Chain A
Amino acid sequence: DGGITQSPKYLFRKEGQNVTLSCEQNLNHDAMYWYRQDPGQGLRLIYYSQIVNDFQKGDIAEGYSVSREKKESFPLTVTSAQKNPTAFYLCASTPGRDYSPLHFGNGTRLTVT
């Protein structure tokens, strides 16, 4: 079955460490997105990529970095510069420049202590 896989489901890190969240899709989608969700809040856009080797900052990109070297992969690195990294992180994809809805992964819950 086609879909989006985020791993791991739960991740724990010490403050000051960088951590990379994985997002892989086998839907052959061009566009991929990363969102952050805090308890009781909506989704906030971190980064998005509409094509391989290109990506754009979202509304809250500070303290995060991404790469898009392959169509199926869009890893997100949470750096030590991110002041409040503990959150639920969601990856999504869509075919690209059309009106197709987003397909989401099941998320990674990151806890930094």
Chain B
Amino acid sequence: LAKTTQPISMDSYEGQEVNITCSHNNIATNDYITWYQQFPSQGPRFIIQGYKTKVTNEVASLFIPADRKSSTLSLPRVSLSDTAVYYCLTMNRDDKIIFGKGTRLHILP
């Protein structure tokens, strides 16, 4: 069973900031939080990973509260090409890596 819960789908408009929240109530102390993006008929692609507080890279930010029971992926100023499925995972060094159903993000013009 997936260890995370995400909204099934979201719509937004070009140029907006999009926030996708993931719930992981049973996250373990040694788990990291990782987000992937998947386009149709392609393998998922790594976006960002973090353990606590805030992580930012060139494509996204990841916000993790102190209790680590949830996380929020933030995509600034989305474009049509950001339409994809976004997966949130918790992972550690020893466990198998399990994906949930993901969030289907649809960006409208």
Contacts and interface: CB of A to CB of B under 8 A. Distances in A.
Interface of A: 4, 33, 35, 41-45, 48, 56, 58-59, 88, 90, 92, 94, 97-99, 101-107, 109
Q: Give the secondary structure class of B's interface.
A: loop
B42 A107 contact: yes
Interface of B: 2, 32, 34, 36, 41-46, 49, 87, 91-94, 96-102
Given A42-B2, A99-B91, A104 B97 contact: no
B44 A104 contact: yes
Given A41-B101, A56-B96, A101 B49 contact: yes
Contacts of B98: 45, 59
A6 to B, nearest CB: 8
A91 B100 CA distance: 17
Given A90-B43, A102-B44, A107-B42, A97 B93 contact: yes
